A = this chain, B = another copy of it.
Amino acid sequence: MCYELEDKMKEACGVFGIYLKDAAQESTDAARTTFYGLYALQHRGQESAGIAVSNGQNIQLHKGMGLVSEVFSPEIIARLPGKIAVGHVRYSTTGDSQLVNAQPLVFSYLRGMVALGHNGNLVNTNELRERLATLGSVFQSTTDTEVIANLLARYSQDRLEDALVKAMIDIRGAYSVVLTTEDKLVGFRDPFGIRPLCLGEIGGNYVLASETCALDTVGARFVRDIAPGEIVVVDSRGLRSIQGLTCPNCAHCIFEYIYFARPDSTIDGINVNRARRAMGRQLARESSTAADIVISVPDSGTSAALGFAEESGIPFEEGLMKNRYIGRTFIQPTQQMRDLGVRLKLNPVVEAVKGKRVIMVDDSIVRGTTSKKIVNMLKEAGATEVHMRVASPPTIYPCFYGIDTSRRDELIAAKMDVEGIRNFIGADSLHYMSVEGMFSVFNTDKDWFCAACFNGNYPIPVDD
Contacts and interface: CB of A to CB of B under 8 A. Distances in A.
A213 interface: yes
Contacts of A68: 325, 327
Interface string A36-70: 10011011001000000000000001000001111
Interface stretch (A283-291, A335-343, A427-435, A454-462): A335-343
A337 B218 contact: yes
Contacts of A139: 107-109
A384 interface: no
Contact of A321 (B149, B154, B262): B262
Interface string A133-146: 11111111000000
Interface string A106-125: 11111000000000000000
Nearest to A111: B133
A201 to B, nearest CB: 11
A227 to B, nearest CB: 22
Interface residues of A, number: 91
Interface string A250-279: 000000000000111010000101100100
B149 A138 contact: yes
A426 to B, nearest CB: 19
Contacts of A271: 349-352
A325 B46 contact: yes
A95 interface: no
A262 B139 CA distance: 36
A344 interface: yes
A42 B329 CA distance: 14
Interface stretch (A27-35, A168-176, A392-400, A417-425): A27-35
Interface of A: 29, 32-33, 35-36, 39-40, 42-43, 46, 61, 67-70, 72-74, 77, 99-100, 105-110, 133-140, 149-150, 152-154, 156, 202-203, 213, 216-219, 262-264, 266, 271, 273-274, 277, 299, 302-303, 306, 310, 315-318, 321, 323-334, 336-340, 343-344, 347-352
